[in-house]
Amino acid sequence: MGAYKQLAFLFDQSKCTGCKACQVACKDKHDLPVGQTWRRVPEYSGGQWRIGVDGAVTHDIWTYYTSLSCNHCDDPICVEVCPSTAMHKGENGIVSVDPALCIGCKYCAMACPYDAPQFDEATRTMSKCDFCADRITKGKRPACVAACPMCALDFGEAEELRAKYGDEASLEPLPEQSVTRPNLVILPHPKAQPSGHGTGHLANPTEI
């Protein structure tokens, strides 16, 4: 595997069309069953229609999408609350779950503000994005990154991405990045709303 201090995802909200190709690629690559999704693309919308005194109708409606999976955080709450040490942060900063140690208590799922850990009904253990470590070992891109038709999703060394693009990940519908210090760098959509202060709403609340 490549020698990364800490891997991170880079996401350009302005380019994303919400096609969910990244989500489908992830499910296909990992053969995930129905109800188990390691990457999601929540839709966040706002604005309203207005009728002027002359009867003319105008609007300021907007929508943007955020491709979201595990962010392999610097302060992963999932690792902190795991009673069996199954959840751990390892090589290249990737947060992984060891199924041999996992007892399926779901504490990690309850604690994670990104809903990243997913319960596997078949094995009765937790599962999650592993940054496609097997592909990175071979010099390939993660499946989600490779599948994005708009090149809205990318990855790289966290420090290098932040030095080039800044350090922004506190945008609705995500929590404040200070909670877990996620390794996610977002290039904001022009209408992006700050975490906790947004005026929009999720099209499907179960998406996050």
110 occurs within a structural domain:
no
| pLDDT at position 203 over 80 | yes
Q: Does position 1 have pLDDT exceeding 60, yes or no? A: no
Cα separation, 176 vs 119, in Å, equals 25
Q: Is residue 87 part of a domain?
A: no
The tally of domains found in the chain comes to 1
- In the sheet that 201-202 helps form, which strands lie side by side, from edge to edge? 62-65, 43-46, 201-202
Average pLDDT over residues 56-64: 90
In the chain, the amino acid numbered 87 is M
Percent of the chain with pLDDT over 90: 84
- Domain interval for residue 144: 7-48+60-73+129-207
- How many other CB atoms are there within 10 angstroms of residue 193's CB atom? 18
CATH number of the domain where residue 68 is located: 3.30.70.20
Asked whether residue 121 is domain-assigned, the answer is no
- For the segment 80-127, what is each residue's pLDDT rounded down to a tens digit? 999 999 999 999 999 999 999 999 999 999 999 999 999 999 999 999
Q: Please check whether residue 55 lies inside any domain of the structure.
A: no
Which pLDDT score, from 0 to 100, does residue 25 have? 98
| 182 domain-assigned | yes
Q: What percentage of the chain reaches a pLDDT higher than 70?
A: 97
